[in-house]
């Protein structure tokens, strides 16, 4: 078992249980929206959902040129499938941009079944947080908390949503990025942790039958942002296929028992589900596998109410 793993098997690449070719992970009949979908992990997630037979995949990003290139590659790779790829240029930290996206989808009679929150802001960075400009610092929170929240609200409030239709929300979160000792990532990791914690709370308010919410750490990936800090040969990077396929698994009924929890793509899903101790803790501990204060047991306020 690797350090930080709940399972004896620690995956660095995709594996059969999370393969989008599995019938039980089929996304047939579903429209998928991926933020930050033009490159890196977002692009690979789009590929995995296409392999899982999603008939429509929407990739959103800030740079239209990047989206156009990504869409062209996807259409070429899946030219023999029926999957439709749609691009939308937008900024999730801008409320008007978010509203424009969802209004556009509604006007085109497009209902989104799966939302993958992958867009993120990695700035600012520096060894001394006190010396950061407040406006720059808040940009990280505007994207990683505010933008993701706005997208989630619009997602669950779609006018075209049929009564009783379950939704799937997948949050790609490197909330514990300090584990990998990436330099000067305080606002990024803190803001990602904040939103992941918020989703854990929301999951307690909405049953899995309403909206299934899964947050997961994608691993150590050589992306455009990582290349700004590391040489490609400096680290043993995980394969992009691991988190990409994991996102499909997380958006399926196979992951329903992890509703509201934060897990790692590295962990073997079959071993995780077969571990009776883990299942027991999920049942008994509301804070297990959720972002919280380390070192404290679950705290109840029941003793403060006078009717107890």
pTM: predicted TM-score of the whole model, two decimal places: 0.92
Task: Of 108-117, 126-135, 226-235, give the lowest mean pLDDT range.
Answer: 226-235
Taking residues 110-129, what's their average pLDDT?
Answer: 89
pLDDT tens digits for range 137-149: 899 999 999 999 9
Torsion of CA 91, 153, 242, 76, to 10 degrees: -60
In this structure, how many other beta carbons lie within 10 angstroms of the beta carbon of residue 131? 8
Q: Give percent of the chain above pLDDT 70.
A: 89
Query: Is the distance from CB of 132 to CB of 124 less than 8 angstroms?
Result: yes
Write down the pLDDT at residue 284: 92
Taking residues 75-104, what's their average pLDDT?
Answer: 97
Confidence of residue 5 (pLDDT cuts 50, 70, 90): confident
Q: Which of 116, 92, 128 is nearest to 167 (CA)?
A: 116
**Is pLDDT above 90 for 236?**
no
CA–CA dist 157, 64 (Å, integer): 26
**Is pLDDT above 50 for 178?**
no
Confidence of residue 181 (pLDDT cuts 50, 70, 90): very low
Taking residues 174-192, what's their average pLDDT?
Answer: 64
Confidence of residue 179 (pLDDT cuts 50, 70, 90): very low
Write down the pLDDT at residue 229: 66
Write down the pLDDT at residue 4: 67
Exposure string of 287-301, with b = 16+ CB inside 10 Å and e = fewer, is eebbbbeeeeeeeee
Query: Is the distance from CB of 155 to CB of 105 less than 8 angstroms?
Result: no
Q: What is the pLDDT of the chain when averaged over all its residues?
A: 90
Which residues are identified as catalytic? Answer: 173, 188, 192
Confidence of residue 189 (pLDDT cuts 50, 70, 90): confident
Write down the pLDDT at residue 234: 77
CA 98, 33, 203: angle at the middle one, nearest 5?
A: 85
Write down the pLDDT at residue 297: 65
**Is pLDDT above 70 for 298?**
no
Write down the pLDDT at residue 188: 82
**Is pLDDT above 60 for 82?**
yes
């Amino acid at each position: 078992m690797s350090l930080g793993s709940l399972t004896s098997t620690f995956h660095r690449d995709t594996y059969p249980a999370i393969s989008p070719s599995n019938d039980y992970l089929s996304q047939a009949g579903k429209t998928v929206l991926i933020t930050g979908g033009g490159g890196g992990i977002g692009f690979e997630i789009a590929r995995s959902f296409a392999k899982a037979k999603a008939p429509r995949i929407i990739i959103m990003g800030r740079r239209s040129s990047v989206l156009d290139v990504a869409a062209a590659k996807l259409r070429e790779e899946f030219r023999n499938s029926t999957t439709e790829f749609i691009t939308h240029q937008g900024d999730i930290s801008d409320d008007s941009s978010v509203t424009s996206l969802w209004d556009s989808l509604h006007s085109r009679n497009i209902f989104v079944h799966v939302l993958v929150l992958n867009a993120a802001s990695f700035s600012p960075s520096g060894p001394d947080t006190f010396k950061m400009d407040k406006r720059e610092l808040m940009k990280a929170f505007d994207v990683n908390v505010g933008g993701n929240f706005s997208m989630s609200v619009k997602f669950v409030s779609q006018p075209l949503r049929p009564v009783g239709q379950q939704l799937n929300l997948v949050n790609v979160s490197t909330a514990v990025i300090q584990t990998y000792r990436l330099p000067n990532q305080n606002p990024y990791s803190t803001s990602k942790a904040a939103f992941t914690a918020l989703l854990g709370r929301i999951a307690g308010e909405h049953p899995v039958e309403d909206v299934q919410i899964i947050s997961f750490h994608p691993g150590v990936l050589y992306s455009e942002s990582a290349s700004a800090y590391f040489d490609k040969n400096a680290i043993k990077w995980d394969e992009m296929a691991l988190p990409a396929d994991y996102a499909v698994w997380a958006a399926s009924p196979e992951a329903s028992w992890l509703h509201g929890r934060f897990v790692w793509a590295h962990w073997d899903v079959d071993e995780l589900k077969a571990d009776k101790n883990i299942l027991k803790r999920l049942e008994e501990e509301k804070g297990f596998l959720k972002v919280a204060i380390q070192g404290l047991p679950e705290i109840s306020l029941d003793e403060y109410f006078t009717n107890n």
